Chain A
């Protein structure tokens, strides 16, 4: 009896041991490569450039089609305006716990934490604190759990903030690239619950553009076809056909689309067959408003490092943080309806005038007396970008970004900051994460 029981027991033991051994496979340090076909990447922003770089590293036949005459997307560099290169687009690295954080560390790129103090233009005075706190340390009243599905503007009103605080609310919404009346408090928080890259903002001694685009873009130069405005994607056959406005036609097994959400929302790219309705609906629910950066060069630093609350421009930032410079550069960071209003002015001089008038009001004419130069970068007018970055618009659903990012027929893949599902949309590292995600998804297909 004993030995029969023991025999059964031993068989069981040996069986479990065999299962454990059999379940273990020898693994390499890289993901196995299954895909061997051809890939077209559309859009030369951070997501497209990094994905192309990864495909190239894996020996995949890949080309990158960029509509404008250079790669970079919403990363850009301005030389000659100041005694240091200026980031025309994204300029802050938000947290370091990300691929970009490790690119920066590994490349020994010099960055500085931007922890400068805030000043507020409030009731026609420049103050360093508000009668009623809307910003508490690094968080605002708009951050928390179980917040209602209302706009920033509505939530501030509900919390007892008077109309005097509205420009401050606009500046906080502007950080998210949105109007306060259109940014969902609930969804912004739900999406940010996944945020994991760290809370500090860093500025580059050189530029963000160089760290990403020059660094990785230089490695894919031969694969980039600029001024290739894609206007048709046909995925009815095994191979996807991509047609450009210049008449060029390309074919590939997989197409990775990394254009801004505004381009996907427009009819500029004709898909054959048309995209599923749930996908186009998801595109439409993601917000992306006008955005503009205006750089001012002054002869002295009469301004605060961060100014919130302007009615022409809700947020101004000192650009000198982390730079080695003798110049004094102030950025007007204009978003939403304020950007739309300025963008509608007849020319850049009118934009500069409107902002200078506000700065003169804030600083008793010191803006005019110290003015040296200005440069306007209006992303709303860039036909291949048309805005700042994506935000959680009122009415967006928890599944909207997931649906938008879902591949179609294992032929069309979607990346870019708006397609980030980790709460890192609006950021360069978020865009790069999606480039890697879709690269990885494609590589796992045989």
Chain B
């Protein structure tokens, strides 16, 4: 833990000491996680009596903030912090279930423009650490005195690639649509199957790969000196 803290302290110190730009953005996210999807399928298959099936947990929103370093060898280093939220509600006449996932991502990236010459089209790539917490509970059940939501925690690494295009609005103010893909091997406890399908040992391991695709917009502005 101490090593991890030291690593992030160095990364932050590096980024903030030599920072030049801030950016904030939001995006639509598409999540693909085979284990979570399989758990949802198991849940639905085990319950033919449910008129409305539970949908896959795959559409979410993201808020992010990033801090960019100085341009050096056609590259800028930046760190970004991301919060994402996913939710699926399944409404049946007497049974409404809700699955919600909150994700935090902190990553360290390099933004490069040299391949495309003077065009403001950028590629970036980076890595970081991703955590999430997923809750599943039954809503609006008057006979349920026991509050028994299930919580599942996940933690793991993240690797990402992204492309963005900077539109200059004013001097130093940019709007940048971006597309980002990331892959995260995550350790979940309890497993997706136990959280979603309420069974164990049928489908999912504790390690699970999560792919996230983002399409969004960022606003960047220079740091005041």
Complex alpha-carbon distance, A96 and B141, angstroms: 11
Query: Which residues of A sit under 8 angstroms from B92, Cβ to Cβ?
Result: 106
Q: Does B48 count as interface, using CB distance less than 8 angstroms? A: yes
Q: How close is B146's CB to chain A, nearest CB, in angstroms?
A: 5
Contact B45 A31 (CB under 8 A): yes
Contacts of B44 in A (CB 8 A): 29-31
Q: Contacts of B123 on A, CB cut-off 8 Å? A: 9-10, 13
Interface set, chain B 147-171, CB cutoff 8 A to A: 148, 150, 159, 161
**Residue of B194, B202, B213 touching A437 (CB-CB under 8 A):** B202
CB of A57 within 8 A of CB of B48, answer yes
A98 at the interface (CB under 8 A from B): yes
Residues of B within 8 A of A12 (CB): 125
Q: Are A194 and B200 in contact (CB under 8 A)?
A: yes
Evaluate contact between A96 and B94: CB separation under 8 angstroms. no
Chain B stretch 180-194: residues in CB contact (< 8 A) with chain A: 181-183, 190, 194
Interface check B172, CB cutoff 8 A: no
Partner of A96, one of B54, B148, B183: B148
A194 CB → nearest B CB, Å: 6
Residue contact A29 to B55, C-beta cutoff 8 Å: yes
Question: Residue B145 at the A interface, CB < 8 A?
Answer: yes
Indicate with 1 or 0, residue by residue over A225-239, a CB within 8 angstroms of chain B CB atoms.
000000000000000
**Using a Cβ cutoff of 8 Å, how many contacts connect chains A and B?**
138
A31 to B92, CA, bound (A): 20
A276 within 8 A of B: no
Inter-subunit contact B125/A13 (CB<8 Å): yes
A97 to B114, CA, bound (A): 55
Q: Is the CB of B56 within 8 A of A422?
A: no
Interface string of A50-71 (1 = CB under 8 A from B): 0001100100000000000000
Docked complex Cα distance between A299 and B56 (Å): 55
**What A residues does B46 contact at CB under 8 A?**
54, 99, 436, 440
Q: Does B37 contact A (CB under 8 A)?
A: yes
**What are 29 of the A-B contact pairs (CB < 8 Å)?**
A6-B114, A9-B123, A10-B115, A12-B125, A13-B125, A17-B181, A20-B181, A23-B211, A24-B32, A29-B40, A29-B41, A29-B56, A31-B42, A53-B48, A95-B148, A96-B144, A101-B138, A103-B47, A103-B49, A105-B95, A106-B49, A110-B143, A113-B146, A199-B148, A200-B146, A421-B200, A421-B201, A436-B45, A443-B45
